[in-house]
Amino acid sequence: MHIGIGLPTNISGARPAQLVEWARRAEAHGFSSLAAIDRLVHDSYEPLISLAAVVAVTDRVKLATTAIVAPCWGNAILLAKQAASVHRLSGGRLVLGLVPGGRRDDYASSPVAFESRGRRFDVMLEEINQAWAEEWGGSPDETPPELVLGGFAPQSFHRAARYGSGWIAGANGLPFFRQGAAAVRDAWRAGGRTGAPRLRAICYFSLGRGAPDRARSYLLDYYSFTGPFANRIADLALTDVARLRATIDDYRAAGNDELILLPVSPDPEQVDLLAHALRDQPGFGGAAHE
């Protein structure tokens, strides 16, 4: 299992210099991916623009959106074009993660109604694939971005099997990952796909002095829209090395291919603390690139 790290793009007050330094350190330490998550109505950086900004200070690490709330964009061709641009600028390193999303406040500022997001998402996926087929169809040396889909409704697993290379789980814990992984594998077989879906998951982490309080404060605020469920997400935050390593072992045993660890602080020291905690983990550092 490979181990990626999130950029602090959704942390209020994160400075541009912190994002750039974060990316430099993540590449130097050997994380498999640099990931950016998405919110339309939040004090945050847009994910594809953020990843484009760190292209210049990285050469190897994959650049991932985990994930963009695609129907909020409305225009699938624009999304496909921007993703293709980041992919080419980075030398083919973009992994485009897309989800239908579950936050009504984002959709209140979007041209798409919350209730029609699933239908719009299906149309957008067809349009994105068609746009990429036209852009890359005649090129033997280039391929479009890897497409990964998320969501936990039954249709989400069928979308992943039809359009994507696999599925990404949210930060709601290992039992949900296991359930979703089984569902997408079933959809994969039912759709006649060969091989196996590539599985990813995200967890939040915070290390060092004050880590538990820092994680709890951020996550209870960020997930306040979920009501009591926000406490569960906060409880799952990885705030000490022993729990971090045990969780990585659990996801590896469950068949996950890549675990992406998302921060709750924009301080680049968090990259160093995480790398130190993972220094002998299989799939981290040099072993992640073989």
- pLDDT score at 138: 67
Which of 43, 39, 173, 37 is closest to 104 using CA atoms? Answer: 39
* Residue 54 in tokens: 């760190």
d(CA 103, CA 121): 15
CB-count burial class (<10 Å; 0-12, 13-18, 19+) for 174 = middle
**Tens place of pLDDT per residue across the chain (290 aa):** 999 999 999 999 999 999 999 999 999 999 999 999 998 888 899 999 999 999 999 999 999 999 999 999 889 999 999 999 999 999 999 999 999 998 888 898 888 999 999 999 999 999 999 999 998 876 667 899 999 999 999 999 999 999 999 999 999 999 999 999 999 999 999 999 999 999 999 999 999 999 999 999 999 999 998 899 999 999 999 999 999 999 999 999 999 999 999 999 999 999 999 999 999 888 788 434 33
Determine how many CB atoms are found less than 10 A away from the CB of residue 226. Answer: 15
Q: Name residues whose C-beta falls within 8 Å of residue 122's C-beta, 6 or more positions apart in sequence.
A: 159
State how far the alpha carbon of 107 is from the alpha carbons of 48, 81, 111, 219, 231, in Å.
Answer: 19, 22, 8, 21, 24
Q: What are phi and psi of 108, to 5 degrees?
A: -65, -25
Q: Which CATH number fits domain 2-208+240-289: 3.20.20.30, 3.90.1170.50, 3.40.50.720, 3.40.50.300?
A: 3.20.20.30
Alpha carbon distances (Å) from 228 to 169, 232, 262:
20, 7, 21
Query: What are the boundaries of each domain within the chain?
Result: 2-208+240-289
